[in-house]
């Protein structure tokens, strides 16, 4: 066995999307950081869907970027199609989604890691935690090498005791045939960490040359591409884009699935882990939605230099022969040659309720975790947890107060708060409906919300911070001007309004009031605005949204203020819930298990009712 011993400030286990953000944050904050991966070729691997962003997930990528993370920059370098989703709806649910060139995405992120100061990328499997008196001291690898550090971040993704399954075939590997990590789970259990089994899945990949696109609907990217990163110049990324394609399953597809459902490991009991409810396999959809005679299938390119196409919406763990039969019933896929089979992947992750809101384990001081290991799903959710875990591992190592992002400040706050307070019996997926204040937490204003926080932490430089401050001032100045600038009911104004299919004026009104009309916006009223000066596109966008939705925005701000008064009330660390006699037994048990830090967190624990919170508030007041 190896007698190698090395010392670092921060150790990161895993170099997926969570591990990359964690390691980069740590290294950029000046800490000597090492990140372990089973295969250096799998840095920031995209083993499933070849895209970044999507509904609510696009918000997370923007927020990671605003804090000083890398995912947004990396997808801006490597996308092959980009689209703003939900444009027909309000700005709260607009979300960017970009198809990535998978190989290029991995290559660019690896290049970034390898060229970041204070960062060492190491191919090795971590097998043991070194813990003394409940405090993390470092890790050991399967070769016996020892690495000591002040803090450790676990970002193991889907690799712990991973099994890839389709039909009766079960292979003990990670995604894409990569090695599984089979030893670390036992060390976690030995150190008081409870584990559970989750599963996810991926569809088959087919050879583009064997697909008949004439039977499918072509899906184009946006004419004007919006970057993910606030630092990317939009003009620098306007380019020709690759098309995606839409087709559908049919009754024949569903019949084949139903006839072979007994052979699905999902239904035969071969798979123990729980899968994601919001990303079900095709066999799951057919069983659960019997009334639907078709389901969407998106045919997406995996990159510019490969013929592999991803069959989005048709993940499966059915046997190989059933996969061949069912895929060949889909219009356009009748003669498709499968390059990679669809499969389910089962893996170890942690039971809920074991983390503090800063992502540190309650059982082991200085041990943090992020990503699918925490019971979440998706690249974007992983990256969001990764940057927070990275920041907090550094803060812990320095003896500073750790960072907790509030639910009212970012989707990242909603994501982490949900993961640490709510019982989840399936992989957690971010959705806009999970955010109470989604009109305030839009993807377009993530820089205004979180860049000051990134600057305070040390991940955002002075120039970028100053530019966000200047942007905020420009928005406020323009809104004030529009509120105070009036136009009269003269012939010229009435003619312009008639041309815009808007009601004519009976009396003078402000330009802001005109913008609030459903049929008008900031750009449309420019002919009525004599004093208007040219402003950057992002400033104009904020001015328009803030004026148009001002009533709703103010209402949400008041809601935040109202709830914050109770939300932030700290619960004493040593509070014994057994002493709160009027609490129901279930509430008492849940509060003892989760040990919430404040009333807001306590109120979101399932099994704790508003009545229980009232009892707790009265008890705390009496104890004062």
For strands 79-85 and 95-100, give the pairing: antiparallel
% of the chain exceeding 90 in pLDDT: 79
Which tokens belong to 450? 């979180």
Query: Is pTM beyond 0.85 here?
Result: yes
Query: 3-state class of 125 per DSSP?
Result: coil
Would you say residue 555 has pLDDT above 70? yes
**21 contacts 386 by C-beta, under 8 angstroms:** yes
* pLDDT top residue among 594 and 411: 411
Q: What whole-number distance in Å separates Cα of residue 220 and Cα of residue 180?
A: 37
Q: Which of 169-183, 198-212, 597-611 has the lowest mean pLDDT?
A: 597-611
Would you say residue 278 has pLDDT above 60? no
**103 contacts 50 by C-beta, under 8 angstroms:** no
Q: What whole-number distance in Å separates Cα of residue 546 and Cα of residue 559?
A: 17
pLDDT tens digits along 209-239: 999 999 999 999 999 999 999 999 999 999 9
* pLDDT top residue among 328 and 424: 328
User: Average pLDDT of 356-362?
Assistant: 96
User: Average pLDDT of 82-98?
Assistant: 94
User: Average pLDDT of 246-274?
Assistant: 85
Q: Is 172 exposed, middle or buried (0-12, 13-18, 19+ CB in 10 A)?
A: exposed
Under the banding of pLDDT at 50, 70 and 90, the label for residue 167 is confident
Under the banding of pLDDT at 50, 70 and 90, the label for residue 270 is low
Q: Is 5 exposed, middle or buried (0-12, 13-18, 19+ CB in 10 A)?
A: exposed
pLDDT tens digits along 454-466: 999 999 999 999 9
Q: What whole-number distance in Å separates Cα of residue 296 and Cα of residue 277?
A: 17
User: Average pLDDT of 295-310?
Assistant: 97
CA nearest neighbour of 119 among 394, 395, 403: 394
pLDDT tens digits along 427-486: 999 998 888 899 999 999 999 999 999 999 999 999 999 999 999 999 999 999 999 999
């Amino acid at each position: 066995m190896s007698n190698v011993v090395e010392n670092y400030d921060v150790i990161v286990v895993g170099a997926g999307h969570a591990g990359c953000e964690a390691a980069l944050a740590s290294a950029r904050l000046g800490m000597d950081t090492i990140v372990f991966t089973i295969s250096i070729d799998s840095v920031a691997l995209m083993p499933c869907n070849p895209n970044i962003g999507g509904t609510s997930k696009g918000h997370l990528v923007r927020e990671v970027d605003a804090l000083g993370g890398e995912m947004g920059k990396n997808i801006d370098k490597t996308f092959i199609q980009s689209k703003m989703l939900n444009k027909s709806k309000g700005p709260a649910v607009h979300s960017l989604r970009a198809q990535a060139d998978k190989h290029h995405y991995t290559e660019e992120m690896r290049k970034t890691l390898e060229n970041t100061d204070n960062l060492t990328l190491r191919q090795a499997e971590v097998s043991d935690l070194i813990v003394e008196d409940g405090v993390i001291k470092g890790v050991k690898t399967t070769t016996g090498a020892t690495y000591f550090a002040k803090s450790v971040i676990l970002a193991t993704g889907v690799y712990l005791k991973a099994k890839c399954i389709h039909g009766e075939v079960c292979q003990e590997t990670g995604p894409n045939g990569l090695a599984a990590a089979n030893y670390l789970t036992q060390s976690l259990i030995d150190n008081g960490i409870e584990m559970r089994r989750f599963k996810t899945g991926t569809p088959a990949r087919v050879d583009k040359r064997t697909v008949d696109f004439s039977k499918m609907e072509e899906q184009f990217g946006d004419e004007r591409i919006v970057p993910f990163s606030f630092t990317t110049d939009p003009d620098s990324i306007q380019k020709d884009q690759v098309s995606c394609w839409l087709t559908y399953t049919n009754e024949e597809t569903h019949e084949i699935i139903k006839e072979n459902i007994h052979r699905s490991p999902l239904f035969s009991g071969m798979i123990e882990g729980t899968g994601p409810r919001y990303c079900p396999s095709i066999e799951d959809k057919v069983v659960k939605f019997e009334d639907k005679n078709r389901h969407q299938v998106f045919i997406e390119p995996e990159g510019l230099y490969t013929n592999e196409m991803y069959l989005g919406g048709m993940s499966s763990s059915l046997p190989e022969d059933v996969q061949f039969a069912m895929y060949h019933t889909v219009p356009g896929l009748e003669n498709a040659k499968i390059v990679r089979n669809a499969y389910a992947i089962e893996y170890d992750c942690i039971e809920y309720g074991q983390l503090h809101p800063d992502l540190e384990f309650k059982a082991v001081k200085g041990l943090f975790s992020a990503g699918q290991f925490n019971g979440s799903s998706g690249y974007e959710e992983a990256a969001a947890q990764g940057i927070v875990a990275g920041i907090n591992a550094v803060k812990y190592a320095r003896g500073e107060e750790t960072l907790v992002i509030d639910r009212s400040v970012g989707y990242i706050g909603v994501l982490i708060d949900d993961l640490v307070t709510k019982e989840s019996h399936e992989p957690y997926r971010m959705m806009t409906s999970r955010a109470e204040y989604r009109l305030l937490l839009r993807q377009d204003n993530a820089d205004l919300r979180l860049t000051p926080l990134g600057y305070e932490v040390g991940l955002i430089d002075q120039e970028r911070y100053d530019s966000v401050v200047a942007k905020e001032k420009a928005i406020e100045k323009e809104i004030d001007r529009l509120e105070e600038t009036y136009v009269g009911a003269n012939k010229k104004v009435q003619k312009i309004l008639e041309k815009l299919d808007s009601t004519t004026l009976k009396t003078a009104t402000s330009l802001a009031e005109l913008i609030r009309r459903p049929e008008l916006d900031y750009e449309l009223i420019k002919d009525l605005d004599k004093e208007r000066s040219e402003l950057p596109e992002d400033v104009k966008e904020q001015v328009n949204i803030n004026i148009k939705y001002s009533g709703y925005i103010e209402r949400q701000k008041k809601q935040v203020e109202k709830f914050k008064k109770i939300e932030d009330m700290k619960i004493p660390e040593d509070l014994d819930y057994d002493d709160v006699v009027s609490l129901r037994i279930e509430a008492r048990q849940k509060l003892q298990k989760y040990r919430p830090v404040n009333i807001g967190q306590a109120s979101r624990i399932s099994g704790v009712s508003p009545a229980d919170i009232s009892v707790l508030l009265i008890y705390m007041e009496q104890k004062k």
